[in-house]
Amino acid sequence: MSGRMVVHAFAGQGDFTLAPLLRALDTQDVMEEALEEVGAEGDAVVAEFGVGPVVSQLLSGELRSARELADGPPGTAQYALFACSVAVHRALCRAGLAPDRVVGMSFGDIAACVAAGVLDVADGARVACLVARALTGHPGGMLLVEAPAVDGDPEAEAGRLLAALALPGLALACVNDDRRIILTGPPDTVTLAEQLLLGLALPVVRLRLPFLCHHPELGADARRFVEAMRDVRVGAARLPVYSSVLGRAYRPDDDVREVLSYGLTRPARLPGALRRAVEGGPAVVVEAGTGSALTRSAGELFAGRDVATVAALSADGFAEVSHGR
């Protein structure tokens, strides 16, 4: 990987699993040290929201599954995802793979902002819990749909699907790559959409997220979210932060609080943000988290280009991705 620009990519809530993290904690001191640091800065803050000391519980072995996170108070799963993402980023930095740029996919914008110094860990944890508070009370679902785009335009294909389904409340939530989109809507609508899409022989996966997100119905909650963040300290970015809801890097005149609120109501579009993040390559995109969905999407987006892609956590623990720059 010598000479490549390094991009850390942070995933959203649809791709979070604990198993790779737990394996890494058992085998890699650098991962344990990084997570301890994040917990020391974040666990006390989330107690303000009724969330337990998630990181301490992960490190002690009290928490061992995503189901336990889902059963916790609102904000538990969101804080866990945020904390693990930041910890993986810090472990990568210590392993010699610090980023030149960062990309946030949906909820991953929060960790990306922390990685770039726009937010500190305490305020990032606070924002993660505020997102959870905004989502609570809006039951819904999300469908990952594989619908190969015509002429390389997945959003146009999503529009055709939505028009064909004609289900009230169903909306485009995310564009992951040139083949995969995510739809969101109320529970009954999502169930019916899943049945209809399977009837069209389209691969569909229902994500384990029981709420609306990236949905226009959350407009009032987005405004309250911004107001609740007024005391959150926002600093200057130390490196470029590419946002999937903006489709570009943050600019100095962007209101970070407003942009973070966009993730509640606007679609997240990963392809544009990733393509801009690797401009001027060659580059390596490293997924700074516990999953591999962004790695898969980046691999498809950059097939045939001089862009390497790798998930930081593998089946064997912390990936050996630090073989030089």
Give per-residue pLDDT as tens, 107-141.
999 999 999 999 999 999 999 999 999 998 899 99
Q: Does this model's pTM top 0.85?
A: yes
Mean pLDDT of the chain, nearest integer: 90
298 Cβ contact list (under 8 Å, min separation 6): 9, 177, 274, 285, 287, 307, 309
pLDDT above 60 for 324: no
Give per-residue pLDDT as tens, 156-199.
888 889 999 999 999 999 999 888 999 999 999 999 999 999 99
Give per-residue pLDDT as tens, 247-283.
999 999 999 999 999 999 999 999 999 999 998 879 9
pLDDT above 60 for 153: yes
Burial category of 312 from C-beta neighbours within 10 Å (exposed 0-12, middle 13-18, buried 19 and up) = buried
